[in-house]
Amino acid sequence: MRSINIEPSLKEICPRLRLGCVQAEVVSEQYSEGLWEEVINPYLQAQESELETNQISQIMAIAEARAAYKALGKDPSRYRLSAEALLRRVVKGKGIYQINNIVDIINISSIKSGFSIGGYDTKKIEGDICLGVGKEGEPYEAIGRGTLNIHLLPTFRDASGAFGTPTSDSIRTMWTMESHSFMMVYVDFAGNEALSEAMAFSVALLEKYARATHVVQDVIAAV
């Protein structure tokens, strides 16, 4: 398991912060019919019919994350958490993009739990990982968003710089069809009791729909 150090500056503002980490060897597929027919489509249909847009920010994991963004000095309505952005698409009837089985598992895990989840090709991560606060002018190319202002965002870094935030992951460490060494990181800002169940859900999907092996789990706390 790749270890992650949480920097003191972030611990001070978010003392109950935890990271739920899952690492595995997986098999990438462009499309998993079983995943979509058995898991994703039924859940999206239920959420679209049952959830209202104004209820999304009240989901516990999202409400806790929005409060953390505000404490850091970042506007959570302008720099939406990835989980919140996904749920807003679903409620508006736009669904979610079909990318590949691994990214699709990350997305449905995030939608179901309300946690923002980073998904990385560990072979593209250089050296030790730390989670801190984004710096002004720090370079960051986000997936599907281009240049992202990560100043004051919770930010994952390695030896080459920033590569992940709860708003959007970076292009540099993104998952592709050639990837096989996988790490997903749940960002839990307030010691949410639902973290363990959420991680177990993801692991079950990875084992069933991505033939995951050598699965390792860990929870890292800001203490």
Q: Write out pLDDT tens, residues 51-67.
A: 999 999 999 999 999 99
Instruction: For the chain, give the number of residues.
Output: 223
CA dist 113 and 186 (Å) reads: 10
Question: What residue spans define the domains of the chain?
Answer: 4-221
For 102-145, the pLDDT digits (tens) are 999 999 999 999 999 999 999 999 999 999 999 999 999 999 99
CA dist 185 and 80 (Å) reads: 18
Quote the pTM value.
Answer: 0.96
Judge whether 56 and 80 are in contact, CB under 8 Å.
no
For the domain bounded by 4-221, which CATH number is listed? 3.50.40.10
